[in-house]
Amino acid sequence: MSPSQFSDITARALAQRLGQNSGGYQGERMDIWNILAQIGQAASRHEWIPLPLNTPPDAFLPAYCRLNPGATRNIYLSAGIHGDEPAGPHALLRLMVENQWRPEFNYWLVPCLNPDGFERNTRENENGVDLNRDYSAQTTPRVRSHVRWLEQQPAFDLALLLHEDWESNGFYLYELNPDVQPSLAEAMIDGAAQTCPIDHAPQIDGRDAERGTIRFVGVIPERPEWPEALWLIHNRSRHSYTLEAPSDFLLEVRVSALAKAVRAGLDQFALRVE
């Protein structure tokens, strides 16, 4: 068997659903504090500026900033708001270790917003609250702290939010683009497709979709419970993507899909800056 044949067989094996998620996420768990420590080490090696979130009474959560000489565009990345979605923090760790950030941009990065959820392997926090539905009411100290932190940062030209979906048949994303800027969705779908199947269903999560993309362009529908993405659109960024890796695939497939989607999106966005 040739190396290319072996590689093809391996890729097909990795791209098969595991069939283990039933009624919720049943996949790999992780030591979130170990992942955050590794991200902190990579941040220190590559001269990121620590900007922790003050989240009393329990802890400071790590966050970082990277300012590149001459860069005028600002990028925001976050992950780990749901404690049953380990691929996002892992993908940010990979990106930090590989350190292949485009120099055209400044970056703000929050690698985990819900460590208590990861300790329990639950979507919600320790009090059973879905933090990603609390950005309008802001009932939780952690979301209030995160909002205060965001308000202290500059406006972002692009926001990339890393998630997973335990029910999905493949990778997909949400695009929030009220000002009808050139879309980055196709580039990110192409990037993820290098290692992960794309969800081609005409409806995903009850919303119309095309080639793994749920688009809200021009008009952003209101909803009573705001996720992080909607708060950002109203307050800090007019262009946002929520990337959803399919949780019923191997962790390596999901991590790679998220990391490749981020890189592809930043590469495409850089073409607009030149």
| Overall residue count recorded for the chain in this entry | 274
64 Cβ contact list (under 8 Å, min separation 6): 43, 48, 49, 50, 51, 107, 108, 109, 111
Q: Is 15 contained in some domain?
A: no
pTM of the shown model: 0.94
Q: What is the pLDDT along the chain (274 residues), one digit of tens a residue?
A: 444 444 444 555 566 888 889 889 999 999 999 999 999 999 999 999 999 998 765 678 999 999 999 999 999 999 999 999 999 999 999 999 999 999 999 999 999 999 999 999 999 999 999 999 999 999 999 999 999 999 999 999 999 999 999 999 999 999 999 999 999 999 999 999 999 999 999 999 999 999 999 999 998 988 999 999 999 999 999 999 999 999 999 999 999 999 999 999 999 999 976 5
> Residue 6: inside a domain, yes or no?
no
Q: Given its phi and psi angles, is residue 47 left (phi above 0), alpha (psi -120 to 50 degrees) or beta?
A: left
Position 180 in a domain = yes
**What per-residue confidence (pLDDT) applies to 57?**
57
Structure tokens, 68: 């590149």
Residue 16 covered by a domain: no
CA distance 179 to 130: 29
Instruction: Say how many domains are in the chain.
Output: 1
Residue 146 lies in a domain: yes
Q: How many CB atoms lie under 10 A from the CB of residue 134? A: 23
- The three state secondary structure string of the chain is CCHHHHHHHHHHHHCCCCCCCCCCCCCCCCCHHHHHHHHHHHHHHCCCEECCEEECCCEEECCEEECCCCCCEEEEEEECCCCCCCHHHHHHHHHHHHCCCCCCEEEEEECCCCHHHHHHCCCCCCCCCCHHHCCCCCCCHHHHHHHHHHHCCCCECEEEEEEEECCCCCEEEEEEECCCCCCCHHHHHHHHHCCCCECCCCEECCEECECCEEEEECCCCCCCCCCHHHHHHHHCECCEEEEEEECCCCHHHHHHHHHHHHHHHHHHHHHHHC
Flag whether 132 is in a domain. Answer: yes
The CATH number that applies at residue 113 is 3.40.630.10
Domain housing 197: 21-273
Position 3 in a domain: no
Q: Is 214 part of a structural domain of the chain?
A: yes
